Every structure is written in C-alpha cells, then in structure tokens.
C-alpha cells in the first residue's frame, strides 16, 4: 500500500507544480491595460500567405518618425484606455503611467516598437485581407500592455478612416500576412 501511495505522490506533485505554473502564467497574461493602436496601410500586391498578420504600428504622436530605431526601446502611452492620445519618449522611468518596451516577447518580429504580428485563423484571414485593403477603414490592433511593458496583441478591428488627403509620401509601409 505504501508503494502505491508513493507512486501516486510522485506523479501528483509534478502535475500540481505544472498546474500552478500554468495558472500563474495565465493570470499574469491577463493583467494589464488594453489599448487600441492604429496600424499602417496594406499593400494589395502582397497576397495572403498564411496565418500571421504582420503590421506596422502607427503610434499617435510619432507621425513622420518611425519607432524602429534602436533608441526607441520605451514609449510612454498617454490617453484614456483604450484610446491613445499620443505616445512619447520618457524623460525618466517614473514619467510613464503606461509604458511599452521593445523586445518584450516572442511576438516582437525584429521591428522593435515599429511592428508586431497576430495569429489569425484561416477563415478570418480572407476577411482581414479585404478590410485592410479598404481605404475607408483604419485598421486598429488591440493590445494588452502589462506593468513590465510587455505587449500582447489581442485582435485587429477597424474604424472609419479620418478624412483628409493622402499623399504618396504619407502612405505607411505595407501590412504583410505570412506563414509562421
């Protein structure tokens, strides 16, 4: 009887530890502030190639300056969640109520705070491709920002694009959808 109890305990303890680890990770992933970040345009010549939408953040307040330079490791978000009024570079760490950090996870595709990627189902990919190509719609990625600055993209939505002339120079870089 003691042998069976020892075997059961030997199996139960690691499983309990694994469950506790998963629960802690899940709770940490659900914490943070949800923000809506506009994303840059879509290149209709780039055909749908898989399950990841690769997009370029169009951070409000950085127009004309891309956030992909090495010194842009931290950006401060200003505004009332989920709407971002603008982002800026912090003067000191204490200046930021909500900060995003480059290189904060597997989802950071070497673009720093300039770009990100989101997994989408094959069924939804065709709809996203059609809506991203619509010049009347502005793509918006919903992200969760944890206290440590880690960004987790949650979804892509759309809102009407603000009216105004679009010059060739103001057209943002393309959005790509590619396989993993």
145 compared with 92, residue with greater pLDDT: 145
Using pLDDT thresholds of 50, 70 and 90, give the confidence band for residue 113. Answer: confident
How confident is the model over 112-129, as a mean pLDDT?
81
The share of the chain scoring above pLDDT 90, in percent, equals 22
- Tell whether 69 and 155 lie within a shared domain: yes
Residue 114 scores a pLDDT above 50: yes
Domain with 1 in it? 1-30
CB 56 within 8 A of CB 42: no
Mean pLDDT of 127-136: 85
Are residues 105 and 17 located together in one domain of the fold?
no
**pTM of the entire predicted model:** 0.71
Whether 77 and 39 share a structural domain: yes
Mean per-residue pLDDT for 143-172?
A: 77
Cα separation, 141 vs 158, whole angstroms: 8
Convert the pLDDT of each residue in 30-51 to its tens digit. Answer: 888 999 999 885 544 444 455 7
* Same domain as 130, residue 66: yes
Q: Are 71 and 24 within one domain?
A: no
29: helix, coil or strand? helix
Rounded CA gap, 23 and 14, in Å?
14
> Do 145 and 101 share a structural domain?
yes
pLDDT digits (tens, 9 = 90+) for 49-102: 557 777 888 889 886 555 444 335 788 999 999 999 999 877 655 567 788 888
Q: Are residues 11 and 92 in the same domain?
A: no
101 and 20 part of one domain: no
* Per-residue confidence band for 165, with pLDDT thresholds at 50, 70 and 90: low
> Does 169 lie in the same domain as 97?
yes
Are residue 53 and residue 135 in the same domain, yes or no?
Answer: yes
What does the DSSP 8-state code read for residue 174? P
């Amino acid at each position: 009887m003691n042998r069976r109890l020892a075997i059961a305990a030997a199996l139960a303890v690691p499983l309990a530890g694994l469950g506790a680890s998963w629960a802690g990770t899940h709770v940490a992933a659900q914490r943070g502030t949800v923000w809506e970040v506009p994303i840059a345009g879509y290149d209709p010549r780039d055909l749908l190639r898989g399950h990841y939408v690769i997009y370029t953040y169009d951070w409000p307040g950085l127009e004309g300056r891309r956030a992909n330079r090495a010194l842009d490791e931290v950006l401060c978000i200003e505004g009332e969640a989920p709407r971002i009024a603008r982002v800026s570079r912090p003067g000191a760490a204490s200046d930021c109520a909500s900060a995003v950090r480059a290189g904060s996870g597997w989802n950071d595709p070497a673009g720093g705070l300039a770009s990100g990627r989101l997994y989408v189902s094959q069924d939804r990919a065709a709809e996203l491709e059609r809506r991203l190509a619509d010049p009347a719609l502005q793509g918006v990625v919903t992200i969760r920002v944890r206290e440590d600055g880690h960004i987790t993209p949650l979804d892509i939505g759309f809102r009407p694009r603000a009216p105004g002339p679009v010059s060739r120079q103001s057209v943002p870089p393309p959005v790509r959808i590619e396989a993993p």
